[in-house]
Structure 1
């Protein structure tokens, strides 16, 4: 049976005055119905660009190639009118910063009602009733009153709940959540994650969860993809990744996490920074920061190699016949 969402060799690039810069290169991802897939990595690794490429929400100057198959239909081949029928209906997205995603000129109720009127054919009165019901479901107090309020009148946690209510209004099959808990305090963060679990449990929604927080990944995800400098460097089920990370970059991310069982006073960090688009190194993109780099790492880019049952790793350490 084919995956619900299948991304094949997705490449996103932009042409500058001097050259063509690849932001995301050759990404391939599958998302099964009812699954939560985490996409993790440092800021600037291409996580959000991948999600915006799937939704086709990037500037027209940005070139996107490859295939994004949703129930067999290639989203990259659809017209903008056809994409508008899918966005917010069968595929929905929770954006990183709700204050910039919500329209400050319209009430909360009107913004939630819009996709219900457009995609579900509800009348304004029915859509308003449904909007109130959705706000109640996401745990917002006084939902009828909140429907008449504007985004600036709500707290960050409340705005994020509104975003989830909007995203779930039409019962989408796929929910893309881009850093849904960033800038929220830990109590609100836990509530938002529990709300997403409830959505998945009750509606069977598949979730593509983009985050830099490995704690969120451990709590929410079935499988994990680790990205670095626009590429997938590791892919595994969540238990395997935390039990036995393979790629040196993933190992570095794990060591940078606080551990309540450890008496270590200082967390380890990965030296250096993610390379700029116009300064990508030859060979393995992580090699300049890697303590295990070999000569071949600087000369030749590795492919995603099998590194155990369902585990793949973009590292020469796991190349067939060359495992060190």
Structure 2
């Protein structure tokens, strides 16, 4: 790559990053997208709840998006990993794993998050396929199916209230002593939602499709799907090294314009919101691109 000086470098080239790049490319901004090819949902077979793309494999959506974005000649794409960045007097240096040193006026982080899926047998193989996180993204496909919720307390109760509309065969798996208020227990019982406290030892599956949940006491029970919410970490530490603040939930803190707490840096997609979906990522990326363009415009007009 010959050019090393850009108006905007977008770190992360999945849905949010590509959406931001399109907004900037249509304003003739010199943009570089840096992406290492590890999308958060790379194991998910289909994307849902995104109009015009419902049921399409995520990789096909991003492939089509990348092709469209790169029609804008001011936008470049680099298959690489951004490993560090430094503030300069008028912008930032971005360093990549391949040894590139790049200069940019603005940075957009579209780096996503990394789910800390337990090492329990079968969990990682099922994650995003039949071990799922969101009723809006996956619930319709498992409607009327035997479904479990791998959670406890408020999180489990909230999920149960949403999933209850999709199936009449619902069980909460607390993997330990259940932690519900009396009024919550009464509602769960009224809706015939079972509670199991036995710890899970493994998930039995076929190519990620759940068959049985195995328990530490030797029992097993058939399930078609399990909802779960695992802890996560940011996929990139670079925002922290530049001073960007986090929310109490661990997301990059942004305002209504996708601006972080550091001037000149924006964030979009899963790294900065609890709303984890392709549609939400695309929307926040579009806004981040537009607001970054507005900031560049203000500096020169």
TM over 0.5: no
Q: Which has the higher helix share?
A: 1
TM-score, normalized by length of structure 2?
A: 0.27
Q: Which has the higher contact order (CA 8 A, sep 6+)?
A: 2
TM-score, normalized by length of structure 1?
A: 0.25
